[in-house]
Amino acid sequence: MQLRIAFLGLGRMGLPMAIRLARAGHDVAVWNRTAGRAAEAIAAGAHGAASAQEAVAGRPLVITMLSDPDAVLGLLDGLVLDPGATLVEMSTIGPDAVAELRKRLPAEVALVDAPVLGSVPQAEGGALHIFAGGTAEDVARCAPALSALGTVEHVGPLGDGAAVKLVVNVATINSAVLLGEALGLAARLGIAREAAFDALGRTTLGPIAGVMRPRVTASHQPTLFSLGHAEKDLRLAVAAGARPDGVIVAARRALAEAHATGLGDEDVSAIVRALADGDSSSQSG
Cα separations in angstroms, 214 against 128, 149, 186, 218, 270: 22, 27, 18, 6, 12
Interatomic CA distance for residues 20 and 28, integer angstroms: 10
- Paired residues of 116 in beta bridges: 130
Concerning whether 165 is annotated as a catalytic residue, the answer is: yes
Q: Write the burial class of residue 71 (CB in 10 Å: 0-12 exposed, 13-18 middle, 19+ buried).
A: middle
What does residue 62 show for φ and ψ, rounded to 5 degrees?
Answer: -120, 125
Q: Write the burial class of residue 53 (CB in 10 Å: 0-12 exposed, 13-18 middle, 19+ buried).
A: middle
What does residue 190 show for φ and ψ, rounded to 5 degrees?
Answer: 85, 15
Give, as one character, the DSSP assignment of residue 157: S
Beta-carbon contacts of residue 232 (< 8 Å; ≥ 6 apart): 67, 68, 92
Beta-carbon contacts of residue 61 (< 8 Å; ≥ 6 apart): 3, 4, 5, 6, 85, 86, 88, 141, 142, 145
Catalytic residue (choose from 165, 229, 235, 273)? 165
Give, for 78, the enclosing helix (H) or strand (E). Answer: none
3-state helix, strand, coil in the chain (%, to 5): 55, 15, 35
Residues annotated catalytic, as ranges: 165
